[in-house]
Structures are given as C-alpha cells and as structure tokens.
Structure 1
Amino acid sequence: MINKLESKIKRGPLMSWDISNPILTLATKTLADVEMLNGISMKNNWQVDFVKELSVGYQTLVLTDMNQNIVWVNGGFQSMTGYSPDYAIGKKPAFLQGPNTSEAIKRKIREGLSSGKRSSETITNYKKNGLEYECQLTIIPLVDSHQVITHYLALEREAA
C-alpha cells in the first residue's frame, strides 16, 4: 500500500524548489499519516485501505473510539484548529462546536454513522481563538475483520 504512495513522490536529484514543493510535502504528510494509521490498524484489525481513503484532500485527521473520544489526531490538527493534540486527546470533537453549529447537520451525521455508513457534511466549528470556520468533513466507520465498527476516522479540511 505504502509503495503506491511512495511511487507518486517525485524521484530524482533534490532541487532547491523541492523543499517547499506542495505536492512533495502533501505526499510526505500523507505517507506519514498512512504509516501511523496502519500501525494503529494492526492493533485493531481494521479492514481499510488508508492509501485509498487518504487520497482525497484533507488538512487534519481525527480518530475517535466508539464513545466519540479522540484517540489520535495528525499533525495538521493544531494548525487548523489552534488546539494541540495533547489537549484534544480524550475529548469529544464536540469541543470544537459552538452557537452557530447546526443541530440539523449534527443529526444528519449521527444518523449516517448509526447506519454504519460514511458521512460527509460541512459543519461550523470554532478555533481555539474563537473564530468560526466551515469544516468539510468525511467520517469513515472503521470495521474489524468481523465487520464490527470499532472507531471512526474523520478527514477534515477548512472550506474555502
């Protein structure tokens, strides 16, 4: 799996522009996220192709358990929300919500996930500094070899 992603990374001599090449940076970030998730996946026996799932654009990943407690976030979480990973771990993602977060959207997400399906919505969240932002998210139920959902992975990005 990882080899597919590695093959997308440009090979050749390192040029000065490579250091800030957004495609190279994105591929490297995604590779690190895939490696981390594959390690967690082995412990939970998930049946998921993270290379495929993470091929869509995202800024941050949020992994929660069945009780919606955050168990891991990737490096993009702090730059998107202002909150450190240490602060987020153990909390429910609802700490990012506030007065303009739509109850209807939250209900749609819950309904989709309760039926075992992935859910994609745009929801109003709040950064640590209090500013609200539109968060495009896709939440993927992660299932084990017995097809039992054990965790959820949210791919999130700030809407343009």
Structure 2
Amino acid sequence: MGLEDLVAALAVDSETAVVVTDGELSHPGPTILYVNGAFERMTGYLSSELLGKTPRLLQGERTSLATRRALARALRKGQRTKVALINYRKSGEAYRCEVEVFPILDRDGVLVNAVALEREVRRRPGRRSTMGDL
C-alpha cells in the first residue's frame, strides 16, 4: 500500500480537508496527487480538476507571499509546520484556512511527499480579523 492509498483510506470520510502532493518545491510547485471529499467541499473543486495541478491554484492576490515562503522553507528543511492563510474557492471567493503540513522524507532525508490537513477558519461574531477583511 502506497502513501496515497494509506492517506485515502484514513481520510476518505474525514471532515478535515486533506491534500497529498509530491515533493517538488521549485516552480511551478508541488503536484496534487490526492484530495479527499472535505477538500472538494471546502474549495468547490472536484478531485479530477485538482489532480496533477499545483496547490498554488488556490492562491490569489490576498494570499500572503511571506506565509507561502515560510511554508516552502519549512518543507525544504523537512519540518512539520502550521500556517494560516487566505485561499480562494473555485468560485473566486476568498476564505481563511489553517494548514498543517507534514513532510514525508525518504531515507536520505529528501522530501518526497507532503500531507496537508486544512480547516477553514471562520470569524466569530464580534471578533476582529487578523487576516484582512474576511
């Protein structure tokens, strides 16, 4: 059983959005190998529209470049990381999400895959947003 099969077996019924990518970090970025149903519901994309594409297609003008760079740095170092960022649904609607990324390294310490767990962060009434006007 490969990594994608294992993650799929664990994530298929999860309410947490899960995406698995390869380990390519240079431009145009990693390639999506798997997304679960929760990821499809959160983004509005079907898995067939995402497989083979880069997660960068979810980013837009309000996605923080500094956060994207911090995420890439952590992955290059093989470090698990958690970031908050603004992504965009297929409809173009911006949404805030918290993304925890787990690097998968080979025996030589080279990044071969990344597994990301994502959850949408909704602002509570009466609380100020720290991520723009969302």
TM-score, normalised via structure 2 length: 0.75
Taking only the aligned residue pairs, the percentage that are identical comes to 35
Single out whichever of 104-113 and 93-102 deviates more from structure 2: 104-113
- Runs of 4+ aligned residues of structure 1 deviating over 6 Å after TM superposition are none
Aligned equivalents of 2:119, 2:53: Cα separation in 1: 20
Q: Which has the larger radius of gyration?
A: 1
Question: Does structure 1 conserve the Cα–Cα contact (< 8 Å) formed by 2:101 and 2:116?
Answer: yes
Task: Show structure 2 runs of 5+ residues with no match.
Answer: 25-29, 123-134
Aligned equivalents of 2:103, 2:15: Cα separation in 1: 17
TM-score, normalised via structure 1 length: 0.63
After superposition, give the CA deviation of every residue in 1:97-153 in whole Å (9 maximum; x if it has no partner): 001000111111111111110111001000011110011001100123454421000
Length, aligned pairs only: 113
- Give 2:22's match in structure 1, choosing from 55, 65, 73: 65
Question: Structure 1 residues 153 and 92, CA, compared in 2 at 3 Å: closer, same or farther?
Answer: same
Superposition RMSD in Å: 2.5
Task: Show structure 1 runs of 5+ residues with no match.
Answer: 1-38
Alignment partner, residue 83 of structure 2: 121
- Determine which structure has the larger strand proportion and give its number: 2
Aligned equivalents of 1:70, 1:144: Cα separation in 2: 18
Aligned equivalents of 1:65, 1:112: Cα separation in 2: 15
